A = this chain, B = another copy of it.
Amino acid sequence: MNTDRATDLNIRTDDLIDTIEHALSRRDLAAASAALDPVAPDQIVEVLDRLNARQCAIVYRLLAKERALIVFEALEPELQGELVRGLQDAEVAALFAEMDPDDRVWLLDELPASVAQRLMRGLPARERDLTAAVLGYPQDSIGRRMSPEYVTTHPHLSVGETMQRLRARIDDAETVYTLPVTDAARRVVGVVSLRDLLAHDDSTLIDAVMQPARTAIAESDAESTARVCTDLGLLAVPVVDNENRLVGILTIDDAARILKREESEDAARQGGVEPLGRPYLSTPIRRIVRSRIVWLFVLAIGATLTVKVLSSFEATLEQMTVLALFVPLLIGTGGNTGNQAATTVTRALALGEVRPRDILAVLGRELRVGVSLGLALGVLGFAITALVYDWHIGLVIGATLVAVCAMAATIGGIMPLIARTIRVDPAVFSNPFITTFVDAAGLIVYFLIAQAILGI
């Protein structure tokens, strides 16, 4: 029994990468090739993901033609794009013709328009039509991520007839595990799973076996559709036009792929970084710098607002230098409170728990949360500062904490909703920007309260 055919998901890839990197560093292509030989294509994909661009191109070249195709199809579009630039035109055209229409669109989105057009012209007519159908939907819509290669059945067909249709399309359909059931006008009236087909006699009518269908309109947002698909654990969702006519199918593995990319981008932007689109250790330093510098400049320019605010209170500061000591604490707390609210609401938006029209409800909730948090911190801040300094300063710090927390929670909570309304990604708009804004606004509040209480 050949137990080498079973490979643990977690462990062996690390060793394999070490072996290959070692072989490449000695320029021993035979050893690298031998190491790759017994490896399943999906694991080769993981290996390529972690190598740098140069290593990646060498390793890809070592694969036999048949395997190279399987591996290429499973790569991230960015890596496909990198590889394509290093291959000859004929090789690229052959790869491109073999890909599934939906995977082809992912790659096209990565390539320069001129290359994309040339590749499309080289396709056989049927493949070109299928691809064009998917390309016809707007960027970020689920129509652009669906597969146009589905197997359907009809309510008046039997299970046996449906199994025949399915076997006839078994090589090219995106999935055979979920079949949309359509009427004569191609409208979706249900779905039937292969599992249910196998559990019933051949003579049973589909009408008796099918389940109600959850469908997605092709123009709707890719991310939220993918999220509902994985949340509900639907193996496949029929994609329809506005008249409920079937145009494609979204499978759960494609949905998971969409979500992975979106989560990566959201996580990056919440930290004020442009997504790298490449594994960290194999990304050139200048590309990492580029992914951060623009945001850092924008935020630094925003922060000059705090210099302006402080210089307008410079006289107060000179009179009471002690006020300067609390500036980082106060604006830090404001920033933290704002980020907490923004994080919660951004996530709720992504999960569909909150919609932009709920803005007043969110405002009311965050105001109450902010005041509660501010009171808790403010009482503590007052007590400590009054003990260490004096009670006037304590009162200033306590009152400022209440005001800053209330303001920060409210702004942090409604910013993501405003971003969604004006069609900006809430993750882009949120944490770093909120911090900058809350910093400046918090300083104004602080010095106004100080002037009022201390009478300066």
Highest count of chain B CB atoms <10 Å: which of A8, A43, A384: A8
State whether B232 touches A7 (Cβ < 8 A).
no
Contact of A296 among B7, B325, B336 (CB under 8 A): B336
Chain B nearest CB from A17 CB (Å) reads 10
State whether B212 touches A40 (Cβ < 8 A).
yes
Residue interface mask A343-361, B partner, CB < 8 A = 1: 1111110010111001001
Which of the segments A89-97, A128-136, A216-224 contacts the partner chain?
A216-224
Given contacts A273-B340, A279-B353, A343-B270, contact A333 B300 (CB under 8 A): yes
State whether A339 touches B272 (Cβ < 8 A).
yes
State whether B40 touches A211 (Cβ < 8 A).
yes
State whether A10 touches B268 (Cβ < 8 A).
no
Highest count of chain B CB atoms <10 Å: which of A45, A231, A311, A314: A231
State whether B237 touches A343 (Cβ < 8 A).
no
- A298-322 residues with Cβ-Cβ distance < 8 A to B are 299-300, 303-304, 306-307, 310-311, 314, 317-318, 321-322
Q: Cβ of A213: which chain B residues have Cβ within 8 Å of it?
A: 5-7
Interface check A422, CB cutoff 8 A = no
State whether A216 touches B6 (Cβ < 8 A).
no
The CA-CA distance from A207 to B343 in the complex, in Å, is: 51
State whether B348 touches A325 (Cβ < 8 A).
no
Interface check A214, CB cutoff 8 A = yes
Contact of A329 among B228, B306, B329 (CB under 8 A): B306
Interface check A113, CB cutoff 8 A = no
Contact of A233 among B189, B256, B346, B369 (CB under 8 A): B256
Interface of A is mostly: helix
Interface check A391, CB cutoff 8 A = no
Q: Cβ of A189: which chain B residues have Cβ within 8 Å of it?
A: 1-3, 5-6
Interface check A390, CB cutoff 8 A = no
Interface check A9, CB cutoff 8 A = yes
Given contacts A194-B194, A369-B288, A373-B289, contact A310 B336 (CB under 8 A): no
State whether B253 touches A235 (Cβ < 8 A).
yes
Residue interface mask A38-56, B partner, CB < 8 A = 1: 0010110110011000000
Q: Cβ of A268: which chain B residues have Cβ within 8 Å of it?
A: 343-344, 347
State whether A344 touches B225 (Cβ < 8 A).
no
Q: Cβ of A303: which chain B residues have Cβ within 8 Å of it?
A: 328-329, 332-333
Interface check A15, CB cutoff 8 A = no
Interface check A74, CB cutoff 8 A = yes
Q: Cβ of A339: which chain B residues have Cβ within 8 Å of it?
A: 271-272, 432
The CA-CA distance from A266 to B291 in the complex, in Å, is: 22
State whether B332 touches A299 (Cβ < 8 A).
yes
Residue interface mask A158-194, B partner, CB < 8 A = 1: 0000010011001100001100000100011110001
The CA-CA distance from A194 to B369 in the complex, in Å, is: 53
Given contacts A74-B232, A234-B42, A310-B328, contact A344 B273 (CB under 8 A): yes
Chain B nearest CB from A48 CB (Å) reads 12
Interface check A403, CB cutoff 8 A = no
State whether B195 touches A170 (Cβ < 8 A).
yes
The 7 closest A-B pairs by CB, nearest first: A271-B343, A233-B253, A280-B348, A306-B328, A230-B256, A324-B324, A279-B353
Given contacts A281-B358, A300-B329, 11 further A-B contacts (CB under 8 A): A7-B214, A42-B234, A74-B233, A170-B195, A170-B198, A268-B347, A279-B348, A300-B377, A310-B324, A311-B325, A324-B324
